[in-house]
Structure 1
């Protein structure tokens, strides 16, 4: 990482409290969270956004598909850190390595119709357009209308929007600070979706 960070073993006060909330096995804190250590309030904001957008019980879009959106956006932004973390999480959710591999191939090729339902493919095209061509307002609007035409209700459109927007934020955090996966445990996430205050990674 290109800026100084405070390791778990040296953390005190509020930072130590936050580390204890987000840590995984063996006191491991993901590097993307360590990057916030000089400003703990931004770590708190990041984790709250991440938990509520991707790991909240009120979402109705399947979590594996939200993770798929994350992998796609991260790939488009050349953020290998988030691709590897969230593809590992996607594999854990699917429990089907062949399906996961097919998804990864489809995302890399932009061949969404071959692997996903029409509604899912529309959601992926929306995330792609929002990431690569956000200034093309009418194109983005057409993607929203395409999702709706395939039966995606407005609540789920909002969920897909928020996940795509979150990953664009997270990707810029990673690529802008030189964060790598060195020392991270891939695929962990705050999976207790029923408790929005449980940020522990497992």
Structure 2
């Protein structure tokens, strides 16, 4: 499951047990990406807070399913299969249109933004996401202006930016520590967007 020691739910005590209690899914299942932090629980706390606030916060205005599309795109570009599988399943559930979700994934895996069944504004967000993921040092104000011209407001640009930044972090956590999906329940996420402190996975 990992290249470093991790502490399972049953063996956790103190702060770690309390944090595990907040992030569990059915049957006290803890996603392996969270278990990667078990030797330093304070980093799990930071990870979950930013994950919840970036993707699952009540004040976001970009549709949650599309934020998940961006997460799948970043993860695909970074060849992070763990995050692709988890977040594609979440995106598919949120979108409620399995054929369209599959078509989005197929196009992203082919690196063909134009083939994704999305609108022009969403295509612009995918282009920004690809540039920021693959060539962050070349980003310029014109990249943000292109999002504005596509119809995104500045607060939404920030949401898109933060999803890219979060997944770049999450992908490197997974890839750098050998995190696998073994034992995970694929596609669970914090379902209660109305409560920023509710981290329970559903």
Band the TM-score falls in, shorter-chain normalisation: over 0.9
Q: CA deviation at 1:143?
A: 2.3
Q: CA deviation at 1:164?
A: 0.5
Q: How many residues align?
A: 200
1:135 corresponds to: 137
Q: Distance in 1 between matches of 2:139 and 2:96?
A: 38
Q: Secondary structure at the match of 2:144?
A: helix
| 1:119 equivalent among 111, 118, 121 | 121
Q: Detail structure 1 runs of 4+ shifted over 6 Å in the superposition.
A: none
Mapping for residues 122-201 of structure 1, pairs under 5 Å = 122-138=124-140, 141-201=141-201
Q: CA deviation at 1:96?
A: 1.2
Contact 2:22 2:200 in 1 (8 A): yes
Q: Flag structure 1 segments of 5+ consecutive residues without an equivalent.
A: none
Q: Which is further off, 74-83 or 105-114? A: 105-114
Q: Distance in 1 between matches of 2:182 and 2:11?
A: 19
Using the size of structure 2 for normalisation, the TM-score is 0.97
Residue by residue over 1:176-200, the C-alpha shift from the partner in whole angstroms, topping out at 9 and shown as x without a partner, is: 0000000000000001000000000
Q: CA deviation at 1:111?
A: 2.4
1:6 corresponds to: 7
Q: Flag structure 2 segments of 5+ consecutive residues without an equivalent.
A: none
Q: CA deviation at 1:56?
A: 0.2
Contact 2:57 2:196 in 1 (8 A): yes
Using the size of structure 1 for normalisation, the TM-score is 0.97
Q: Distance in 1 between matches of 2:112 and 2:176?
A: 29
Q: CA deviation at 1:112?
A: 2.1
Contact 1:122 1:143 in 2 (8 A): no
1:46 corresponds to: 47
Q: CA deviation at 1:137?
A: 2.8
